């Protein structure tokens, strides 16, 4: 990958919006046993994580995941397992960073400001330790040489700790990808229906179809059954009563 392409990729990575499932500070608490394993067996863990990031398909392997100038020029297609083993032993830091970039580009994961500060502090401490070692060698002072050795030890401890946290972070992210946190792997959620101005009213999305009149509705009371008219048994038997109207009604001669 050329320098300009690498620069463009880094700028594109800054626009990612997804976040890691666990940040660097929380990885020790989230998965303490794996963090300890990554601290003491860093190259082995890096090998397993890269292979898992490639979905266990080593035919897809490229040295340093294609992020270095030597990528694709080391005969990876002939013996990918041997090349990956050489990478994690001889270039351990690059192997961890390459797996990180691979996951970030696959899932559009951004690096938080806190993670950037931790990684930047690790690099700055290593540079300062290197400068102190050079100055101590030039000056020849025993006190300065001891100080540089202490600083180198501190830089190595910070380096190993941060790399272990990053590898644990990668493992947690792939656990989420492979469905370890749930019963099924991650899948794209279905699109939600949203109301728009061009939809008819009343809305038809998400509502049951209207029932025809006379059939029970899903909610409320059903309409009463239709009764024949006039109702059965009307008028009642024996109506009007016998002897009604009375004889001589209306009265004879009643003025009209």
Give pLDDT tens digits for 31-87.
999 999 999 999 999 999 999 999 999 999 998 888 777 787 778 888 999 999 999
**Domain-located, residue 68:** yes
**Domain-located, residue 211:** no
Segments in 91-195 forming alpha helices (H): 92-107, 113-139, 142-177
**Domain-located, residue 150:** yes
Give pLDDT tens digits for 130-179.
888 888 888 887 888 888 889 889 989 999 999 999 999 999 999 999 88
Contacts of 171 (CB under 8 A, 6+ apart): 31, 34, 38, 45, 49
Domain with 98 in it: 3-177
Number of structural domains (the chain) is 1
How far apart, in whole angstroms, are the C-alpha atoms of residue 35 and residue 85?
21
**Domain-located, residue 151:** yes
Is 63 in contact with 82 (CB distance < 8 Å)? no
**Domain-located, residue 112:** yes
- Across the range 22-38, mean pLDDT stands at 92
How far apart, in whole angstroms, are the C-alpha atoms of residue 117 and residue 113?
6
Task: Give the largest Cα separation in the chain, rounded.
Answer: 155
How far apart, in whole angstroms, are the C-alpha atoms of residue 60 and residue 56?
9
**Domain-located, residue 256:** no
pLDDT band, very low/low/confident/very high, at 219 (cuts 50, 70, 90): very low
**Domain-located, residue 132:** yes
| Peptide bond just before 54 cis, omega within 30 deg | no
**Domain-located, residue 43:** yes
Please report where in the chains the tokens 């960073």 appear, as a residue.
97
């Amino acid at each position: 990958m050329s320098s300009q392409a690498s620069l463009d990729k880094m700028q594109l990575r800054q626009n990612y919006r997804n976040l890691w499932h666990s940040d660097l500070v929380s990885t020790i608490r989230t998965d303490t046993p794996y963090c300890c394993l990554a601290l003491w067996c860093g190259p082995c863990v890096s090998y397993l994580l890269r292979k898992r990031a490639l979905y266990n398909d080593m035919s897809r392997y490229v040295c340093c995941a294609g992020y270095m100038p030597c990528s694709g020029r080391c005969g990876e297609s002939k013996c990918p397992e041997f090349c990956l083993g050489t990478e994690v032993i001889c270039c351990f830091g690059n192997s961890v960073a390459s797996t990180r970039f691979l996951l970030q580009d696959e899932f559009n994961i951004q690096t938080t400001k806190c993670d950037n500060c931790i990684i930047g502090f690790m690099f700055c401490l290593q540079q300062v330790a290197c400068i102190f070692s050079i100055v101590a060698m030039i000056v020849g002072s025993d006190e300065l040489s001891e100080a540089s050795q202490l600083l180198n030890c501190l830089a190595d401890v910070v380096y190993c700790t941060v790399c272990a946290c990053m590898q644990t972070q990668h493992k947690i992210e792939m656990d989420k990808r492979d469905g370890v946190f749930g019963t099924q792997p991650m899948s794209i959620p279905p699109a939600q229906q949203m109301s728009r101005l061009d939809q008819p009213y009343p809305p038809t999305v998400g509502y049951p179809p209207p029932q025809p009149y006379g059939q029970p509705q899903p909610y409320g009371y059903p309409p009463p059954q239709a009764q024949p008219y006039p109702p059965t048994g009307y008028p009642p038997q024996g109506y009007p009563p016998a002897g009604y109207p009375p004889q001589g009604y209306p009265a004879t001669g009643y003025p009209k």
